[in-house]
């Protein structure tokens, strides 16, 4: 008996939970730009609009022989009305002191102890960086490693509803394939993103 692929397992999960979805095999022209036409990519997109407006869960994996063009991630993406500043939030680690990037501090002991914030404009958006949101982010990060919370202005996306739009994303650099963990990520992640406007 042939073993199911990751995409097939994720399709089964979506069907079981009644989540609308599509995959790279069900859409044509799924590359982001003509320069990337030689990238081999696979993806599955869950439409979570029933749970939260403008919310999508994207599993994406691409490979190219060109250096630095391969990319793998799984994440919740939500369209937001306006992105004034692109930020990236990650769980703080002991080796953060080796980073040459300037880390922003909030003055909140819990936040500054548990996360690192990076921003081009050296500005912090209080709708994203607040004690409640960060506690939820850290809680999810304890179960799903390499998690990041980011905002993107005029993003490039394989999801037509998100392409060229401002968005907030909660994503990791690997696919979440365990059903219980995936359900937890959808539930807790959508709750976290619902608080960000």
pLDDT of residue 28: 55
Domains held by the chain: number:
1
Q: What is the pLDDT of residues 68-102, one digit of tens each?
A: 667 899 999 999 998 888 999 999 875 555 555 67
pLDDT digits (tens, 9 = 90+) for 155-188: 988 999 999 999 999 999 999 999 999 999 999 9
Asked if 96 and 103 touch (Cβ cutoff 8 Å), the reply is yes
Give every CB contact of residue 135 below 8 A, 6+ residues apart in sequence.
110
The reply to whether 20 falls in a domain is yes
Please indicate, yes or no, if residue 25 is contained in any of the structural domains.
yes
pTM: 0.88
- State the DSSP code for 118: E
Residue 79 lies in a domain: yes
Which residues constitute the domain of residue 62? 6-194
pLDDT band at 143 (very low <50, low <70, confident <90, very high): very high
Asked, for residue 1, whether it belongs to a domain, the answer is no
Please tell me the predicted confidence (pLDDT) of residue 33.
43
């Amino acid at each position: 008996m042939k073993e199911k692929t990751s995409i097939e397992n994720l399709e089964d999960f979506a069907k079981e939970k009644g989540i609308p979805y599509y995959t790279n095999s069900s859409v044509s022209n799924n590359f982001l730009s003509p320069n990337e036409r030689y990238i081999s990519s696979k993806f599955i997109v869950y439409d979570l609009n029933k749970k939260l407006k403008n919310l999508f869960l994207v599993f994406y994996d691409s490979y190219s022989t060109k250096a630095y063009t391969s990319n793998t991630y799984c994440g919740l993406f939500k369209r937001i009305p306006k992105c004034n500043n692109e930020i990236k939030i990650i769980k703080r680690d002991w080796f953060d002191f080796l980073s040459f990037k300037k880390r922003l501090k909030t003055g909140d002991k819990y936040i500054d102890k548990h996360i690192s914030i990076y921003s081009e404009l050296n500005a912090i958006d209080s709708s994203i960086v607040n004690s409640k949101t960060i506690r939820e982010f850290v809680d999810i990060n304890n179960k799903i490693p390499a998690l990041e919370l980011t905002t993107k202005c005029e993003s490039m996306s394989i999801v037509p509803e998100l392409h060229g739009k401002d968005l907030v994303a909660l994503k990791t650099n690997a696919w979440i394939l365990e059903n219980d963990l995936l359900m937890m990520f959808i539930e807790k992640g959508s709750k976290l993103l619902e608080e960000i406007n």
